[in-house]
Structure 1
């Protein structure tokens, strides 16, 4: 994916999306269940930010081939 300004937005229906700053199309969508929202006590946006941050970092590593071990196989844990 080309380098672009990314933004995290909470939509009116409660979904949290990652999208390019110049586009309304979602790249990733997170939706927490009512039980998860209750457990997180209103902090679902902070949890979503952390999840998306790690996801973007992992995508960068994949793009660089950094998730392969010495044998050239992908490590899944």
Structure 2
């Protein structure tokens, strides 16, 4: 079964990446502060789209592009904290 993803701006201003089938648990949530929103010219959805695309590309590069890891593989692992500057 093919699953499509969509970016949606919620009523509270958060932007979520979710499955188009309406899963209640978003895959990604992006929150822009009020100050940041004031500095964004155009749509925050365009910025969020660019952020998600960059994340997908970075994940593909770090995975070697052919090494796909299923989300189920991480169910029993402790999350690793990483900070990118």
Superposition TM-score, scaled by structure 2 size = 0.63
What does residue 14 of structure 1 align with?
A: 13
* Structure 2, gaps ≥5 residues long: 67-83
What does residue 51 of structure 1 align with?
A: 51
What does residue 29 of structure 1 align with?
A: 29
Question: 1:33 and 1:17, CA in 2 relative to 1: closer, same or farther beyond 3 A?
Answer: same
Deviations 1:18-72 (A, max 9, x none): 0111122111100000000001145211101110111122233344457xxxxxx
Q: Secondary structure at the match of 2:8?
A: strand
Q: Secondary structure at the match of 1:35?
A: helix
Question: 1:38 and 1:62, CA in 2 relative to 1: closer, same or farther beyond 3 A?
Answer: same
Give the deviation of 1:17 after TM superposition: 0.5
Question: 1:5 and 1:61, CA in 2 relative to 1: closer, same or farther beyond 3 A?
Answer: farther
Q: Secondary structure at the match of 1:19?
A: strand
Structure 1, 39-48 or 20-29: larger mean CA deviation: 39-48
Question: 1:12 and 1:42, CA in 2 relative to 1: closer, same or farther beyond 3 A?
Answer: farther
CA distance in structure 1 between the aligned counterparts of 2:42 and 2:36, rounded to whole angstroms: 10
